[in-house]
Amino acid sequence: MTGDVVLRTLGGLIEDSIRGSDLAARYGGEEFAIVLYHTDGPGAYQIAERLRQAVEDCKVRDKGNVLYVTISLGVATFPHEVIHDSNDLVECADKALYKAKENGRNRVEVFGNSTN
């Protein structure tokens, strides 16, 4: 299935974009979560933007077809004044992700910037 090829390709790009100490996992149907240990907000944004660009530049090949895909990313970091636990962290990253989708997709949004 084409969707599976895209997800495997994205999983490989994510794995290549993070450090061995970080954690990446599929989270829901078409979403991934990435935990970047000891990474501040600007560093997390840079990694997310680098990943966004790598996906945009990637050619996904399936059954002789070449597909171009993009991703939207939401970034949240801890510590933060409204993030007190892992549930808050995931919820805030999700809010930033939806903001990225609302603002046109194929972009990175950071929780706490503007009106997340």
Instruction: At 53, list the tokens.
Output: 């660009």
Residue 81: how many other CB atoms lie within 10 Å: 6
Bridge-based pairing state of the strands 73-75 and 108-110? parallel
Please spell the DSSP secondary structure of 77-103, one letter per residue: -SSBTTB-SHHHHHHHHHHHHHHHHHT
Active-site positions read: 30
